[in-house]
Amino acid sequence: MSYKIPMGPYHPALEEPYKLDLICEGETVCDAKLHIGFNFRGIEHLAETRNYIQVIALMERVCGICSNIHTLTLCQAMEKLTGQTPPPRAQYIRVIVAELERLHSHVLWAGIAAKLMGFKTMFMTCFELREKVMDVLQAISGNRVNYSMNKIGGVNRDIEDPLAVLKMVEALEAEMARTVIPIFTTSRTARARCAGIGVLTHEKAVSCSVVGPTARASGVAQDLRRAAPYAAYAEMEFSTPVEQDGDVRARLMVRALEIMESCRILRQALAKMPPGELDTGDVKLVFATGTATSRVEAPRGEVMYSVSWKENSRTPRRVHVRTPTFANMPAIRWMVLGARLADTPLIQASIDPCYSCTDR
Amino acid sequence: MISLEKISEQLGTTDPWVENRGAYWLAATELNVRDVARVMNEVKARFVTITAYQLPDEDGFRLEYHWDLDGRLLGFAFPVSGNSIDSIYDLCEGVDWIEREVHEGFAVDFLGREYEPLLLREGETPGVNLREVSK
């Protein structure tokens, strides 16, 4: 006999409001239905009522964790419509802030995953480390969450002392290499709770069009920083970690290795950052009629913005946002099939879902 | 890496691809969305999203479909007259949620698929144009 267990929209295992209806036989999950929309704010529609300065501040609030990525993607699209090219120093600063954001997002996720594994000490360690990343972001931008770094044609703030930031990054890297990475990659607790759980096969990952670490953990080697470089990524050397198993452990491994790659990119960007202007100066922005698209590799995967404008208008005609969780979440249904009910919180968390982004 | 001309050949069109502000567009008006989805599957392109635009003066909608092919973003625009267009859900599983979102937000009907309960909002009636309701 099967029975339905509703999980959410408000549940201790879920970090944000959404709902999973789990159809179970005994302790085994046979099917799952997902419901989102509890954070729906109509932001795309609101964007059509904001001018080209206000819309940046609005879209920064799509997500609290990857706020910088949203403004970066939006500004890149608007730069295509206005013909602006940010100067090299601004491109490097964009890379630095994007990688710091990836770092704090991955460490935050690692903490939540540790908590769901029942590994509370690790949760505390991760959140302590995340605070240090947030300190770096605050030192650069003055803010802990919405950094307001991006503008059309450049960035709003400089990194005046890259060597000081470099020291902070090196300290972080050493701490990650000493604690987080070895524990997540070698500890028996992590292995026991994650190996063979919540498998998304390579075929399913391709057919569901999943993105980011979720795709890379199922053997899909895609990373926009390499496939379609933006900002200054073409000048960075880094690897794209790919795992084949498609289980929670593979997703854990990919993110753990990406933390180290982010540190590697940060070291290069801070060391090589060229001098120069932060933006294109006080030029009159003239928007062309038409649509521009921009894509960025966010911590959770590809973010895409389609921005449509009508000439001489101060407001966009349309702003469409495709977030990574929107692409990854439907695959949860396949990950939980045949799983034990007790594993479902960790499985759903393993894609690092963000419903603020998804619902918009 | 497969060339865009090869894709045109598979789609049976000689129209040129136009690179414009972040995407390669094939503006062949005779294309059918299901044929495009089949060819995208054949060349192993990854579905990205659909963007819906409501056209002025009751001209219906324009749906822009995007696929990623080895880092290149491919775009296909389809006019929607009479508020309906063929669904490609049976050809491309990744399209499920965005077809539901466009249906729920713009009242565009994707023919040949069933809709599960509402994805993004509360209410009994699916397929309401939220922009019209909010006026």
Instruction: Note whether B128 contacts A: Cβ–Cβ < 8 A.
Output: no
- Concatenate the DSSP letters of all residues of A260-302 into one string: HHHHHHHHHHHHHPPPS-SS--S----PPSEEEEEEEEETTEE
Cβ partners under 8 Å of residue A148, min gap 6: A57, A60, A71, A141, A156
Tell me the pLDDT tens digit for each residue of B17-49: 888 888 899 876 788 899 999 999 999 999 999
Whole-angstrom CA distances from B128 to B48, B68, B82, B100, B121 are 24, 30, 14, 11, 11
Six-digit token string for A105: 């997002």
Average pLDDT over residues A311-336: 90
In the prediction, which pLDDT does B125 show?
59
Of the candidates B65, B16, B11, B15, the one whose C-alpha atom is nearest the C-alpha of residue B43 is B11
- The C-alpha atoms of residue A148 and residue B42 are separated, in whole angstroms, by 42
Give B94's contacts (C-beta < 8 A, 6+ positions apart).
A207, A208, A209, A210, A327, A330, B46, B47
Query: What is the pTM (predicted TM-score) of this model?
Result: 0.89
The pLDDT tens digits of the residues spanning A206-240 come to 999 999 999 999 999 999 999 999 999 999 999 99
**Interface A:B, Cβ pairs < 8 A:** 91
Top residue of A223, A289, A291, A317 to mutate, by most chain B CBs within 10 Å, is A291
* A290-298 and A301-309 beta bridge pairing: antiparallel
Contact A227 B94 (CB under 8 A): no
Phi, psi of A204 (to 5 degrees): -70, -35
Residues in chain A, overall count:
360
Mean of the per-residue pLDDT values of chain A: 89
Interface contact flag, A290 B21, Cβ < 8 Å: yes
Q: What chain A residue is nearest to B117 in terms of C-alpha separation?
A: A35
Chain A interface includes B66 (CB < 8 A): yes
- B126 pLDDT band, cuts 50/70/90, is low
Q: Cβ B97–A330 below 8 Å, yes or no?
A: yes
CA-CA-CA-CA dihedral for A297, A72, A35, B81, to nearest 10: -100
Report which residue type is found at A139: A
Among B134, B126, B92, B89, which residue's Cα sits nearest to residue B108?
Answer: B126
pLDDT for A170 equals 86
CA distance B30 to chain A (A): 22
Contact A209 B64 (CB under 8 A): no
User: What is the predicted pLDDT for the residue at A34?
Assistant: 85
What Cα–Cα distance (Å) separates residue A25 from each residue in A17, A196, A337? 25, 20, 11
- Count of beta carbons in the 10 Å neighbourhood of residue A169: 26
Residue B130 has pLDDT above 80, yes or no: no
**Is B77 near chain A, with CB under 8 Å?**
no
Query: At A184, is the pLDDT very low, low, confident or very high (cuts 50, 70, 90)?
Result: confident
As given in the structure block, the two tokens for residue A319 are 């702003």
Average pLDDT score over chain B: 83
For A308, phi and psi rounded to 5 degrees?
Answer: -115, 140
Q: Give the minimum alpha-carbon distance from A209 to chain B in angstroms, rounded to a whole number.
A: 5
pLDDT at A110: 87
Statement: residue A301 has pLDDT above 90: yes
Asked if B20 reaches chain A (Cβ–Cβ under 8 Å), the answer is yes
